[in-house]
Amino acid sequence: MWRFIGFRTLQSIPVILAVITVTFFLVRAAPGGPFSNEKAVSPQVQAALEAQYRLDQPPMQQYVSYLVDLVSGDMGPSFYYPGRRVDELILQGLPITAELGLYALIIAVLIGTVSGIFAALRPNTLQDYVPMSIAMVGICMPSFLLGPTLVLVFGIWLDWLPVSGWGAGPGDKILPSITLGAMYAAYIARLSRSGMLEVMTQDYLRTARAKGLPEHIVILKHALRGGLLPVVSYLGPAFAALLSGSFVVETIFQIPGLGRFYIQAAFNRDYTMILGTTVFLSTLIVVFNLLSDIIAAWLNPRLRYQFRK
Amino acid sequence: MAKNIRFIICFSLALLASCGSPDATRVESGNRDGVLHFGNGTEPQGLDPHIVTGVPEHHIISAIFEGLVTKNPETLEPEPGVAQSWDISEDGRIYTFHLRENAKWSNGETVTAEDFRWSWERALNPALGSLYNYMFFPIVNAEAYANGDLEDFSQVGVKVLDEFTLEVSLNEPTPFILQLFDHYSTFPVHPETVLTYGAPSDRFSQWSREGNIVTNGPFVLTEWQVNSHIRVEKSPLYWDADRVKLNAIVYYPTENIVTEERMFRDGQLHFTNDVPLDKIPVYKAEQPELITIAPYLGTYYYLINTNRAPFDDVRVRKALSMAIDRELLAETVMEGIVLPAYALVPPGTLGYQPPATFSYDLEEARELLAEAGYPNGEGFPEVEILYNTQESHRKIAVAIQQMWTQALGISSTPMNKEWKVYLDATDNGNYDISRRGWIGDYVDPNTFLDMMITDGGNNKTGFSDTRYDEIILREAPKKLDQEERFALYREAETILMEQMPIIPVYTYVSKHLIVPSLRGLPANIMDYYNWKYVYLDPAH
């Protein structure tokens, strides 16, 4: 097991380095710079700005000093928000996005697995078709449609929940979490349905039933462990995707999270911020993939054995 | 089982309802406590008056800082700020400001003439890279110092005569100079505070962060949560604190204007920064008392690349401009809220009326195009209309494309580019026709017309006219008499419109949703608010 973890960790270092390198040079290749402005910038001012942000140095030198700073934990100053550092802004947005992502994931897992299992128990009946059709709609429904619809119904017509904000009261976390979680719930529902269907035909379930175990024990104790494997390996990437993909929901609900920085940084050509958020999120994605691989290996001994040899 | 389910549903609905909106909305509690909840567009880049450039920043900086003068929100005439009075020399070139002795920084220290001199030296410091340093350029030697050609700041026309007297010498009389002293780029900063957190020219300094910043305006910064809100509270040390009626202002970044409108409907905002275009007819019909639409000191126009054929022919440029039905465009695409523009300077800028040099005239447009060698558009190359990605720009480009096809028989393609890519293309002259908008920095025709001087940073069209440059750079700034000066500007603008390197389309409007309890924000052409006049009256 340790060998497996060590091997996968080593594998992730070149991945992250590649992400940094590609991002570093791509943002600089994009047309328009961080200081291009509707108002004309005089050459003197442009030169002064470039000097302050080290843009007057050759690109390779900038790249090396960025890497050196990064290793020492410094992501540099934001180009767009003078007086703020990239790590500071990320740390400010992260807890909010993580909280939102966690609620969304809980909603997604609860709704997704329950309806997926439910559907798998009686395949090709109404009990299967109804939740799966809803899941299909859920996957197709973009959050920029679902969010405003929920806001219209629960925020404005019924006036039960606030239309935007975060942390002003417990109510304002409900709609964004549902909006963000819905798509993932639908996906998890489909995953757990197919996982369960596959498991239900396995020999060891027939054995369990033959032993005379009651059906709920067969399902909860024997079928679930195998049937939910695809869901478990999906959870890591899903959480990472929730963290990096919450931009739309954060914009709809005015949530001060990480997603807004991530997208705005690209529009602003905020070089350090683009790099900072990309490096941070790609590291997260790598780590969560690693975690879900480890959990999957723990749940499924066959994977572990490959590394025992 | 069914009973259980019913219980669960009822319970969750009750939970949902109970944890929802509190009894009073933010607007209601704000009315009670004198706290204004203000939709402010985007998250400010910062609060350092010598670094930032945007309108949302201005809304906050003007609450926590104060310059030599302020403006009356009704008339936009200069009013005393830190300076309680000023003398102007006979030739209009020397301004002597008498600072009030009771103007205080938020740490209790007195605001002095030296604070201004120090701040202006910082703002002009070439290493700082202030985008607004040109605001100082009417002052003697300011431009040379900012460009690094002059190293001795004592040669710049700013002199401290005594603790409370500041003398400013100008190159030319520059009649609009007092307005520049109400612009945040000329606001004073607290020298010791700036120096505590770094060098004066350090853009990364943390001096303007909450907890560090020292200010001299009617409000002080108390809370700043990035992308969430900024809160300022009434400053007891402000010299005119008795007049300040609000206890606090909370600014919300509301870059999504659809969400902003929903926040307004939900009672979370007293004031919105903008109104979605498609909501305007609804509000006009159902709740006209909530929506305010007013002319704004800005022009929406198209740049023409005069270096490219066939646009190097003035007849082609004029034909394109004359074939646009601006009335129809304003009425349909822009929901009837904007005014059609036939010149660069918005009409009524400080009483200035731009010359009427052309009108919507299809006959003449066709004739001009035929004279230029393209009868009925035959042989005219495909034209690209460049705009930055935004729905309303697209609608206008498509409407103009159709007008040109129908009226002149020429074919064009609207082409959208992401903001920075669009800026890059326009800056490098890599376009045929490009959308542009300009909002005046101060109320004077000069803020529009000086863009179009030869090789001006915002010209981008290749337009160059010696008489035009002569008027803008040398003749008009010398004129003390407003009528004479405006006559010169009319002459310059006539030259500009005869050459037509730009196609004016419409004059901007400011549009806001405002709850009736919010008072003291009269609509004006600058969309300018003087926070000490603003108050909340729950009776309305």
pLDDT tens digits, one per residue of B135-160: 999 999 999 999 999 999 999 999 99
Q: Where are the alpha helices (DSSP H) in B231-310?
A: 257-265, 280-286
Q: Which residues from B are below 8 Å from A257, CB to CB?
A: 227
- Return d(Cα A194, Cα A119) in angstroms, integer: 9
- Return d(Cα A280, Cα A274) in angstroms, integer: 10
**Measured CA angle at B258 (ends B538, A146), to 5 deg:** 120
What DSSP designation does B170 have?
Answer: B
Its pTM stands at 0.89
Q: Which residue has the higher pLDDT, A287 or B303?
A: B303
Q: Which residues from B are below 8 Å from A89, CB to CB?
A: 226
Task: Tell if the CB–CB gap between B256 and A77 is shorter than 8 Å.
Answer: no
Give residue A307's pLDDT. Answer: 56
* Token pair of B4 as six digits: 């259980």
One-letter amino acid of B120: W
With tokens 């400001």, the residue in question is B97
Instruction: For residue B321, give the nearest of B416, B408, B448 by alpha carbon.
Output: B408
Q: Percent of chain A having pLDDT more than 70?
A: 97
CB B509 within 8 A of CB B49: no
Distance in Å, alpha carbon of A153 to nearest chain B alpha carbon: 12
Give residue A152's pLDDT. Answer: 87
Which of A152, A163, A272 would best serve as a mutation to test chain B binding (most B beta carbons within 10 A)?
A163
Query: In sequence order, which residues have a C-beta less than 8 Å from that of residue A287 and are 6 or more positions away?
Result: A12, A240
Size of interface A-B (CB pairs under 8 A): 152
Distance in Å, alpha carbon of A245 to nearest chain B alpha carbon: 17
Task: Tell if the CB–CB gap between B266 and A164 is shorter than 8 Å.
Answer: yes
First and final C-alpha spacing in chain B: 53
Q: How many CB atoms lie within 10 A of CB B468?
A: 21
Task: Tell if the CB–CB gap between A171 and B19 is shorter than 8 Å.
Answer: yes
Task: Tell if the CB–CB gap between A80 and B45 is shorter than 8 Å.
Answer: yes
Determine which of A224-233, B55-64, B257-266, B454-463 has the lowest per-residue pLDDT on average.
A224-233
Out of A33, A36, A92, the one facing B226 most closely (by C-beta) is: A92
Task: Tell if the CB–CB gap between B424 and A254 is shorter than 8 Å.
Answer: no
Determine which of A35-49, A134-148, B9-23, B267-281 has the lowest per-residue pLDDT on average.
B9-23
Task: Tell if the CB–CB gap between B423 and A32 is shorter than 8 Å.
Answer: yes
One-letter amino acid of A16: I
Task: Tell if the CB–CB gap between B457 and A42 is shorter than 8 Å.
Answer: yes
**Mean pLDDT, residues B329-357:** 92
Task: Tell if the CB–CB gap between A164 and B134 is shorter than 8 Å.
Answer: no
Task: Tell if the CB–CB gap between A159 and B262 is shorter than 8 Å.
Answer: no
pLDDT in tens, B176-228: 899 999 999 999 999 999 999 999 999 999 999 999 999 999 999 999 999 89
Distance in Å, alpha carbon of A21 to nearest chain B alpha carbon: 22
Task: Tell if the CB–CB gap between B420 and A32 is shorter than 8 Å.
Answer: yes
One-letter amino acid of A95: P
Q: How far is CA B529 from the centre of its chain?
A: 12
Out of A49, A253, A256, the one facing B226 most closely (by C-beta) is: A256
Phi, psi (rounded to 5 degrees) for B293: -125, 125
Give residue B13's pLDDT. Answer: 47
Maximum Cα–Cα distance for chain A, whole Å?
85
- The edge-to-edge listing of strands for the beta sheet with B502-513 is B339-340, B502-513, B291-304, B433-439, B383-388, B412-417
Out of A37, A254, A256, the one facing B259 most closely (by C-beta) is: A254
Distance in Å, alpha carbon of A28 to nearest chain B alpha carbon: 13
Query: In sequence order, which residues have a C-beta less than 8 Å from that of residue B145 and are 6 or more positions away?
Result: B124, B126, B151, B153, B155, B156
Task: Tell if the CB–CB gap between A160 and B259 is shorter than 8 Å.
Answer: no
DSSP B338-401: SEE-SSSSPTTBTTB---------HHHHHHHHHHTT-GGGTTPPPEEEEEES-HHHHHHHHHHH
CA-based nearest residue in chain B for residue A251: B256
* Token pair of A61 as six digits: 């030198």
pLDDT band for position A308 (cuts 50, 70, 90): low
Q: Which residues from B are below 8 Å from A51, CB to CB?
A: 127
CA distances from residue B471 to B91, B427, B465 in whole angstroms, order as listed = 19, 25, 10
First and final C-alpha spacing in chain A: 12
Task: Tell if the CB–CB gap between A77 and B266 is shorter than 8 Å.
Answer: no
Task: Provide the strand spans (E) within B226-359.
Answer: 229-234, 248-252, 291-304, 339-340
CA dihedral B65→B67→B69→B72, nearest 10 degrees, is -30
Q: Which residues from A are below 8 Å from B207, CB to CB?
A: 83
pLDDT band for position A140 (cuts 50, 70, 90): confident
Give residue B1's pLDDT. Answer: 39
Task: Tell if the CB–CB gap between A251 and B425 is shorter than 8 Å.
Answer: no
Strand pairing partners for B295?
A: B509
**Mean pLDDT, residues B97-119:** 97
pLDDT band for position A135 (cuts 50, 70, 90): confident
Out of A49, A171, A252, the one facing B21 most closely (by C-beta) is: A171
Distance in Å, alpha carbon of A151 to nearest chain B alpha carbon: 9
Out of A40, A82, A89, the one facing B226 most closely (by C-beta) is: A89
Give residue A129's pLDDT. Answer: 87
- Return d(Cα A139, Cα A15) in angstroms, integer: 29
Distance in Å, alpha carbon of A50 to nearest chain B alpha carbon: 9
CA-based nearest residue in chain A for residue B144: A44
pLDDT in tens, A159-212: 888 888 887 777 888 899 999 998 888 889 989 998 888 888 888 888 888 888
Instruction: For residue A115, give the nearest of A144, A140, A136 by alpha carbon.
Output: A136
Task: Tell if the CB–CB gap between A83 and B206 is shorter than 8 Å.
Answer: yes
Q: Which residues from A are below 8 Å from B20, CB to CB?
A: 159-162, 169, 171
- Return d(Cα B527, Cα B40) in angstroms, integer: 13
Distance in Å, alpha carbon of A143 to nearest chain B alpha carbon: 14
One-letter amino acid of A220: L
Task: Tell if the CB–CB gap between A169 and B19 is shorter than 8 Å.
Answer: yes
The angle, 0 to 180 degrees and rounded to 10, between the axes of the packed helices A229-244 and A86-121 is 150
CA dihedral B512→B513→B518→B522, nearest 10 degrees, is 30
